[in-house]
Amino acid sequence: MNMTEYGSGMEKRRSYGEGCPVSHALDLVGERWALLVVRELMLGPKRFSDLRDGLCGASSNILTRRLRDLEGIGVLRRQRAGVPVSTNVYELTDWGRSLEPVLFALGNWAVMSPWWDKHAPSTVDSLLLSLRSQAQFFFPGGMPVTGVCDMRVGDDRFTLRFDEAGLAIARAAAYEADALVRMDAHTLKSLVNRDETLDDAIAAGRVRIEGDDRLIRTVIK
């Protein structure tokens, strides 16, 4: 492999040295943990500590290198968060967010693998992205219901927006929402994997819904 330098402030790294766009894409985001960093930022900005907690298999040094590399090629940027956080956060650029269909395509391909262990640990963000991917698959013409859902998974809060454009998910509280859904991460994983039904989780007291339950029932059965 040839050694090529991409972007400003990046370390020299190995390159496939091909003109093929696929090989160039792997030059840019094919390093270990790179696409998982992108996945963890797809729903909104995160602090370094949040990324480290989510990607618990990546050391701080490796995560720092990946963030620097991805910033160097323009996939993400560092921003100063406002009050009350007042710290640096990482967020995807528009080009970085355009990797979403790539992540979905990889995930849809991998679920057919005989070696996939769906019960292995998953981050909350990856589970919600799975919901969004499923919504795109089952409702390609847009969601059959419209409204906004404030979803609380443990201490994390997300806004789920259902409309004719599909299902949009952002890491933010939804005020004046049509529905409020509460659950923990373990329950979310069980529901996304279809190991249990939403009604069973409600009956067990692990899911609480206030407001229009039709919203969440379009993506979680």
What are 49-69's pLDDT values in tens digits? Answer: 999 999 988 999 999 999 999
Token digits for 103?
């992540």
Q: Find how far residue 33's CA is from the centre of its chain.
A: 14
The pLDDT score that the predictor gives to residue 1 is 45
Section 199-206 average pLDDT: 98
Q: Find how far residue 107's CA is from the centre of its chain.
A: 12
Beta bridge partners of 161: 148, 168
The pLDDT of residue 3 is above 50: no
Residue type at 144 in one-letter notation: P
Section 194-220 average pLDDT: 97
Q: What are the residue ranges of helices labelled H in the chain? A: 21-29, 34-41, 48-54, 60-72, 94-97, 100-110, 124-138, 185-192, 198-203, 214-217
The pLDDT of residue 38 is above 80: yes
* Contact criterion met (CB below 8 Å) for 171 and 190: no
The pLDDT of residue 118 is above 60: yes
The pLDDT score that the predictor gives to residue 60 is 95
pTM comes to 0.91
The pLDDT score that the predictor gives to residue 5 is 55
- Give residue-wise pLDDT tens across range 166-200: 999 999 999 899 999 999 999 999 999 999 999 99
Section 92-114 average pLDDT: 97
Distance, in Å, from the CA atom of 50 to the CA atom of 204, rounded to the nearest integer, reads 30
Section 89-93 average pLDDT: 97
Distance, in Å, from the CA atom of 57 to the CA atom of 33, rounded to the nearest integer, reads 9
Distance, in Å, from the CA atom of 47 to the CA atom of 84, rounded to the nearest integer, reads 13
The pLDDT of residue 28 is above 80: yes
Q: How much of the chain exceeds pLDDT 90, in percent? A: 87
